[in-house]
Amino acid sequence: MKNASHILASLRHRPSFSKLARYECIRRIKGLFPPHLQRLIRYGYFHQEILYFVLGHPGAKQEFDNIIASIKAPLKQYTPPECSHCIPQDIRAFVTHRPPAAPMDETGFTRHSQADYTERSKGDFGNPAHHREIHRLIERIRTHIHDRHDRTDTEPA
């Protein structure tokens, strides 16, 4: 009887699941790096037989460049069995400055934190603005403060 690893191994050799074989190759080569550098690698991908690793910090890129020669030479001599179908001709890395994806709310915007403090202002201030738009903006702020103040008075502490 076959177990799950035998089934996955047989699936990897089919052309329709070649992406799975590439993923295993990337995972195996990533495992050759030191653990502290493995944590800084965001992901890896193949592009025209070149394996690219995307790093999250410029210091990781510098360390990657320092040790890549010691990894490329043994890979040319001995290719791991996971990489038999997709042998990388070169290994490169670059740094992405894009922050990791944050969860979005239903409006499509990222909400970082919810302000949960009590409103200390009561909205008792004048509106000396003569410009119509500025006057309207200050009034909107005043009504917002009144609404928050009324809401905190009715909520139990």
Q: Give the pLDDT confidence score for residue 119 in this predicted structure.
A: 66
Residues with Cβ < 8 Å from 79, sequence gap 6 or more? 87
The pLDDT of residue 32: 85
> How many CB atoms within 10 Å of residue 98?
8
Q: What letter would DSSP give residue 94?
A: E
CA pair distance 155, 15, nearest whole angstrom: 62
* pLDDT for the residue numbered 116: 66
What is the pLDDT at residue 95?
Answer: 92
105 secondary structure, DSSP code: -
* Rounded mean pLDDT for each run of 10 residues along the chain, 157 residues in total: 76 74 86 88 90 89 88 84 82 83 60 65 84 92 83 60
At 33, give phi and psi (nearest 5°): -80, 160
Q: Report d(CA 11, CA 15) in Å as an integer.
A: 9
pLDDT at residue 52 in the model: 92
pLDDT at 136: 93
Name which of 83, 89, 29 is nearest 53 in CA terms: 29
Three-class secondary structure of residue 100 per DSSP: coil
pLDDT of residue 152: 60
CATH topology of domain 4-95: GMP Synthetase; Chain A, domain 3 (3.30.300)
Asked if residues 11 and 19 have their Cβ atoms less than 8 Å apart, the reply is: no
Q: Which two tokens stand for residue 133?
A: 């738009």
Domain residue limits, the chain: 4-95, 119-157
